Copies of this chain bind each other. A is one copy, B any other.
Amino acid sequence: MTQQANKAEWVPIVAPILTELLGKVRFNEQGLISAIAQDDSRNVLMLAWMNREALAETLTTGRVCYYSRSRKTLWRKGESSGQVQHLLAATLDCDSDCLLLTVRQKGVACHTGRHSCFYNALTPTGLIELTEPDITPDALYGVKTSS
């Protein structure tokens, strides 16, 4: 088995080891690294990006924090929806430019209300939605009313 999730709580990684680990990560020319989140049932939930600050916060707190490329800011997963990710394990790949996070997902990972973001199957008859939302986006983020 190559990925055994530690089911216990995350043990915070702090300086000087934190600095040592961050130094081993190959961030790209935008200062980012891709991060795959997989839950403790081994469903792949999503792919997102982290900058150095997001990764440091994630490893220190055990709560997954990404970097939003569209909003250009830290994205503390679940901050507005409550659907947080608790970190169980983190591994870096062979060329140090991708992370695999094992997480305990509270609720759903996808903004559409689905457990996983990967639900559109490419099939010989076209794109097929494999899953229905567990919860509506309105319930996740609150219904916006016109001002």
- Docked complex Cα distance between A1 and B34 (Å): 24
CB of A20 within 8 A of chain B?
Answer: yes
What copy number does this chain have within its complex? 2
A138 to B49, CA, bound (A): 33
Within 8 Å CB of A4, what residues of B?
130
Interface pair B3/A93, CB less than 8 Å apart: no
Q: Interface size of A by Cβ–Cβ distance < 8 Å?
A: 50
Q: Which residues of B contact A121 (CB under 8 A)?
A: 89-91
**A124 & B94 in contact (Cβ 8 Å cutoff):** no
Interface stretch (choices A76-84, A108-116, A139-147)? A108-116
Chain B nearest Cβ from A123, distance in angstroms: 7
The docked-state distance in angstroms from the alpha carbon of A12 to that of B124 is 7
Q: Are A91 and B130 in contact (CB under 8 A)?
A: yes
Cβ-based interface call for A13 (8 A):
yes
- Chain B residues near A111 (CB, 8 Å)? 94
Interface: A17 (CB within 8 A): yes
Q: What's the Cα separation between A17 and B52 when bound, in Å?
A: 41
Q: A21-B122, A92-B120, A94-B112 are known contacts; what are 6 more A-B pairs with Cβ within 8 Å? A: A2-B116, A2-B130, A3-B43, A3-B118, A4-B130, A93-B119
